[in-house]
Structure 1
């Protein structure tokens, strides 16, 4: 996008009454933002949804002043812009009808990775949530997913930190402009995040982290990802909004179950109960449900290296070698191992290249 195209697009987005959906309609009809401002009233009025008020607002010259100020901020601070029709725009977000026309980013973001997942949850994360999040990200690390979250307290910042600890790209989706950071306590994480990842927002530099912006932010978190994972949540909150948006976008949603008496498991349990989320007990659940093909990325383990298997893993391998492909439940029963434990072991064995998953929750030895 040229500087001139960006200037007129910024001006269009500053017109009162022009939201993302209307902007896309106008751009589809006129090709670019400059043509919209130069079009006759009769031509603009022919666009579905355009009324007298919007026609009047399109004549407001102050939008060019605001666009010029924002363009100056973008250039002076090396901010990257992504137009919804450009290649550098998040691919999955393009398919969301209400996705932002333009997003701003800072850092070293690379979205040419199909495995993008969002991890969200309560700001009051418990030790149970932290431990689950740690195990999940560590187990997924060999598959190199991008971890997206909202850079808030609790689950968000834990997910970002663990992603960085495992050398994974992580992206914080902000509810304000890139001239500030919220919460201020998280400023210390910015530099490291920008080394391999960074920040995305649809909000201009003049925008503060107002309450309503967080709900708008959540649709980007849900829309740019293949799946949304809710680690912990009370019976209401932003993470449940994100999960519902993800469902509306026909994305996979996962929730970590917890005890019915635990306050911060109520939201997750409700998502599972109402069939708005899949149960997530380990990384293996996610790999299986998303049908991530890891066979081509992992070198097969030669026979003489089987001594590297843990005793229980060796038991599973010997069983599958003797009996052929089997269901997870049967493996657990015959090997006398609990389901919650065997799921993690099966993923580790997949990563070692000694077994492979099959449709229908079947596994077989390689």
Structure 2
């Protein structure tokens, strides 16, 4: 059975010269979307150009909308309008949100706050290790991890979400009848069982460079906040951060070494005060006022040192483990830290660097470190 209102919205989105912002303003003058194409327009409606009037009357857009809708149904793709209760609430607050979304999977977009996790396709071991640990630590807060299924940080974050039992949503820059990149077909199937795929593009539309920018606005729009794990001076994740800032959402960036080109974008976001410096999941939870929904569950607490309570709230497990080990020793080689804490080398080096800059520890020649007593913990 055809849904005339959904088809009317698809038809409206196909008409040249009227984007999502104008479409939403246009719809305010009608009691239902299909009334737009009745030819009987309210007197208070601003005068339309002759070209737009002609486009609204063309049957070709109606037939195309019906083809898209019918094909979506045959492929098991759900089509929802911006008025549907399952349309993502955060996205609906954005003035340029799509009129319709195409969805596959078990999406519950409004069940928990969404967190966009984005970054470079050329992820370093440091970015990989941080991303995995960060999302594992987020498990207790049960956010929805939103990303774009791309190589690098995107797929790392979504795989970590799947492993941690978190819902994850992949926003795509094409119709849901294909997966790009094709190497992530298996990941897409797994995501559909623990979240889903979302696109504003109907089936049959293939990826194009400009579509990825539109996809990035969905990622930012669906999320309460955006986290940039790693990025160079240019890249799509910086566009996503720009969208998030434009929607008045929080942006966080993970700092990196000044000499690391894959941290240049994050460092710049922080230095320009366009993003908050992020070192752990705890810091994010404090900044967003998230409460733990799983605090009492053993799997999340058994590996956390008992002395965690003696350190500031928001410290990551890695930082607590390093501080706990160093605090009771005069001096320690980095090899001993690696063995004792089991922290991945890239992440350990970065955490030690940050702690030394903050005056919490002191470094010595030969990669030795000691706790600074005046730190007070």
TM-score (norm 2): 0.79
**Aligned match for 1:313, one of 308, 312, 320:** 308
Match of 1:187 in 2: 185
C-alpha deviation, 1:300, in angstroms: 10
Structure 2 counterpart SS, 1:292: coil
Distance 1:313 1:36, change over 3 A: closer
Could you list the per-position Cα deviations for residues 189-219 of structure 1 after superposition, in whole angstroms to 9, with x for gaps in the alignment? 1221111111000011132110000111111
CA–CA distance in structure 2, aligned partners of residues 50 and 221 of structure 1: 33
1:298 pairs with 2:295: yes
CA–CA distance in structure 1, aligned partners of residues 314 and 129 of structure 2: 28
C-alpha deviation, 1:293, in angstroms: 2.1
Q: Say which is worse superposed, 2-11 or 148-157, in terms of deviation.
A: 2-11
Could you list the per-position Cα deviations for residues 152-190 of structure 1 after superposition, in whole angstroms to 9, with x for gaps in the alignment? 111111111111111111110000011111111111212
CA–CA distance in structure 1, aligned partners of residues 62 and 304 of structure 2: 65
Match of 1:14 in 2: 14
**Aligned match for 2:241, one of 243, 246, 271:** 243
CA contact (8 A) 1:15 1:60 kept: no
Match of 1:363 in 2: none
CA–CA distance in structure 1, aligned partners of residues 260 and 239 of structure 2: 20
CA–CA distance in structure 2, aligned partners of residues 108 and 206 of structure 1: 22
Match of 1:198 in 2: 196
C-alpha deviation, 1:308, in angstroms: 8.5
CA–CA distance in structure 2, aligned partners of residues 307 and 35 of structure 1: 60
CA contact (8 A) 1:27 1:33 kept: yes
Structure 1 counterpart SS, 2:9: helix
Structure 2 counterpart SS, 1:198: strand
Distance 1:212 1:265, change over 3 A: same
C-alpha deviation, 1:48, in angstroms: 4.2
Q: CA RMSD in A?
A: 3.0
Distance 1:51 1:169, change over 3 A: same
Distance 1:179 1:309, change over 3 A: closer
Could you list the per-position Cα deviations for residues 9-59 of structure 1 after superposition, in whole angstroms to 9, with x for gaps in the alignment? 22222222221112212211012221111133xx37853473222112111
Structure 2: runs of 5+ lacking an equivalent? 328-347, 356-377
1:231 pairs with 2:229: yes
CA contact (8 A) 1:105 1:201 kept: yes
CA–CA distance in structure 1, aligned partners of residues 314 and 13 of structure 2: 54
CA–CA distance in structure 2, aligned partners of residues 109 and 308 of structure 1: 31
Structure 2 counterpart SS, 1:147: strand
CA contact (8 A) 1:44 1:55 kept: no
C-alpha deviation, 1:142, in angstroms: 1.9
Give matches, 1:35-46, under 5 Å.
35-40=35-40, 43=41
Distance 1:6 1:261, change over 3 A: same
Distance 1:35 1:280, change over 3 A: same
CA–CA distance in structure 1, aligned partners of residues 243 and 277 of structure 2: 18
CA–CA distance in structure 2, aligned partners of residues 142 and 95 of structure 1: 27
CA–CA distance in structure 2, aligned partners of residues 72 and 94 of structure 1: 25
Match of 1:215 in 2: 213
Give matches, 1:84-95, under 5 Å.
84-95=82-93
Distance 1:268 1:309, change over 3 A: closer
Match of 1:288 in 2: 286
Match of 2:32 in 1: 32
Q: Say which is worse superposed, 120-129 or 43-52, in terms of deviation.
A: 43-52
Give matches, 1:328-347, under 5 Å.
none
CA contact (8 A) 2:286 2:314 kept: no
